[in-house]
Amino acid sequence: MKLALIAITAIAFLIPIKGHAIIFSKEKPLLDSSFVIVNKIVIAGNEKTKEKVIARELLFQPGDTIYKERLDVLIQKSKDNLFNTSLFNFITINTIAEHEKFLSIYIVVEERWYLWPYVILEQADRNLSSFLYAKDWSRINYGLMLVKYNFRGRRESVKLKVRLGYKEQFQIYYQIPNFLNSKKHGISAEINWFRQKEVQYATLYDTPFLRKDYSTYGLKYQNAYFGYSYRKEHNLKHNVTLGFNNATIVDSIAILNPNYFGNGKTTNQYFSLSYEYDYDKRNYKQYPLTGYNFDGLTTLKGLSILEDEMPLIWEIQSSFYTYFDLGNRWYSGAGAKLKVSNQKKQPYSIEQGLGYSDVLRSFEYYLIDGQQLLTGRTFIKYAIIPFSVKQIENLGWKKFNKIHYSLFANAFVDQGYVWDIKPDPTNTMPNTYLISFGLGVDLVAYYDQIIRFEYSMNRKGEHGFFINIGKAF
């Protein structure tokens, strides 16, 4: 069984080598009839967005000499870059020949709505399927959030959140990808305050165990992050983040699980430092159908800056996913993710395997803790409804009266393995080969809305219908 996981991981890494070998092809000599010169670029429809923000995503500029055979590719990739900014609902790029060699490029964008006053009403479980399974309606969050995307037309994001209910939160967030008008440098800053009365204090029988005290908050924690990004190329980004975390639990949680923070402690504070390498050539990040991406993340937690800071925990994650257009509305994809960290038992509040942000389908109800993990995923899908556009005639608000949508049927296989150096005897899934497969239907709509309806089965013979939000991978 383990060999199958290793095989799918190897295949995921080897498949794209041939498919993308054209990247390394040798340039051809210029022929008089083989190229065009970009005379001018005209951008329209950007009522809020600065023109330089749009120009930054283009793979051509006035005066460039472009092979005719590459022109369509560069236009499509530029269009993909613009879509992946999440600033526009629709983008049209047309070319007009002027004289024999000169070409004018006209770009028309339709901007999204950028100011969102959200009324928060959400489930607070690990995923929607877990919430529907538990049917615990006390695990609801409510509140208000104000988000301004594309602030000042510079692609900045500003967020203010006040959330009450199950998991209370106050958040301030700011991010700008073009700091001081730079095309390559960006910064971000974030401060969070959390508190909650119910605390997940342990994983037993591969499920979360919770304790709730209505008289007090069982967990309080704060964190702050400052990030710097360097976008060397359109598809390559480096991120460095410095963080500070401070958390406190009540005595009863430390008694139930002395390893919650480690050594029976009721407080835990530490600095963290992370570096991320992100190379992304997917056509649409929110729901990719073609291209590939490689991501590597190294994190250090506990930098020995504070007197009572926890011992150093290091973690390295790496993932590679690739996607193919097979023709006639058929698509496929495969990929793998690897995580390694300290070969020792870590505090429960930090040690995470599968079932948190990373979930294997048909294992939505479980938590699988451990220090290392490896996952492999494959899919094949068919576009029942390809990318389609509909105009809502009686809705005059132009930011919303023109929608795009698509519908996909897909079959998938997920595999995984979590290594835990010292699992609780009640937990049977760590150090065990995991596999699931199933069928599903994905609805993809504008404003990056994705809903997945899936029926899947795992190696334990458990099967069922699951609803999930967002792309699978």
Indicate whether 106 and 209 sit together in one domain.
no
CATH number of domain containing 215: 2.40.160.50
Indicate whether 102 and 149 sit together in one domain.
no
Indicate whether 332 and 451 sit together in one domain.
yes
Q: Could you count the other beta carbons within 10 Å of the beta carbon of residue 388?
A: 11
Indicate whether 421 and 434 sit together in one domain.
yes
Q: How far apart are CA 305 and CA 272, in angstroms?
A: 10
Whether the Cβ atoms of residue 348 and residue 370 lie closer than 8 Å to each other: no
Q: How far apart are CA 455 and CA 358, in angstroms?
A: 18
Indicate whether 79 and 165 sit together in one domain.
no
Residue that terminates a domain, selected from 86, 111, 136? 111
pTM: 0.83
The pLDDT of residue 403: 81
The pLDDT of residue 431: 96
406 occurs within a structural domain? yes
Indicate whether 416 and 435 sit together in one domain.
yes
Show the domain range for 103: 31-111
The pLDDT of residue 402: 76
150 occurs within a structural domain? yes
Indicate whether 74 and 207 sit together in one domain.
no
Q: How far apart are CA 170 and CA 289, in angstroms?
A: 36
Indicate whether 77 and 203 sit together in one domain.
no
Low-confidence ranges of the chain (pLDDT < 50): 1-32
Longest dimension (CA), the chain: 81
Give 305: exposed, middle or buried? Use CB within 10 Å, 0-12, 13-18, 19+: exposed
The pLDDT of residue 127: 66
420 occurs within a structural domain? yes
User: Number of structural domains, the chain?
Assistant: 2
Q: Is 94 helix (H, G, I), strand (E, B) or coil?
A: strand
Residue that terminates a domain, selected from 83, 111, 139? 111
70 occurs within a structural domain? yes
The pLDDT of residue 27: 32
Q: Could you count the other beta carbons within 10 Å of the beta carbon of residue 257?
A: 21
Comparing CA positions, the residue from 87, 100, 92 lying closest to residue 37 is 100
The pLDDT of residue 3: 41
139 occurs within a structural domain? yes
Q: Could you count the other beta carbons within 10 Å of the beta carbon of residue 472?
A: 19
Indicate whether 100 and 128 sit together in one domain.
no
Contacts of 378 (CB under 8 A, 6+ apart): 8, 12, 332, 333, 334, 335, 412, 413
| Contacts by residues 44-47 (CB-CB < 8 Å, ≥ 24 positions apart) | 44/106, 44/107, 44/108, 44/109, 45/108, 45/109, 45/110, 45/111, 46/109, 46/111, 46/153, 47/111
Q: How far apart are CA 204 and CA 367, in angstroms?
A: 9
Indicate whether 105 and 188 sit together in one domain.
no
Q: Is 144 helix (H, G, I), strand (E, B) or coil?
A: strand
In order, the DSSP letters of 118-131 are EEEEEE-SSSHHHH
What digits encode the pLDDT tens for the residues 287-323?
Answer: 999 999 999 999 999 998 988 889 999 999 999 999 9
Comparing CA positions, the residue from 299, 297, 239 lying closest to residue 271 is 299
CA distances from 183 to 4, 177, 276, 415 (A): 44, 8, 19, 40
In order, the DSSP letters of 190-222 are EEEEEEESEEEEEEETTEEEEEE-TTS-SEEEE
Whether the Cβ atoms of residue 288 and residue 440 lie closer than 8 Å to each other: no
159 occurs within a structural domain? yes
Whether the Cβ atoms of residue 385 and residue 412 lie closer than 8 Å to each other: no
Comparing CA positions, the residue from 388, 384, 383, 363 lying closest to residue 375 is 363
201 occurs within a structural domain? yes
CA distances from 27 to 23, 24, 62, 291 (A): 10, 9, 21, 22
CATH number of domain containing 46: 3.10.20.310
408 occurs within a structural domain? yes
The pLDDT of residue 472: 85
Indicate whether 119 and 107 sit together in one domain.
no
Residue that terminates a domain, selected from 111, 128, 144? 111
In order, the DSSP letters of 50-69 are -HHHHHTT-S--TT-EEEHH
Q: How far apart are CA 147 and CA 229, in angstroms?
A: 21
* CA 212 to centroid of chain Cα atoms: 31
Indicate whether 307 and 209 sit together in one domain.
yes
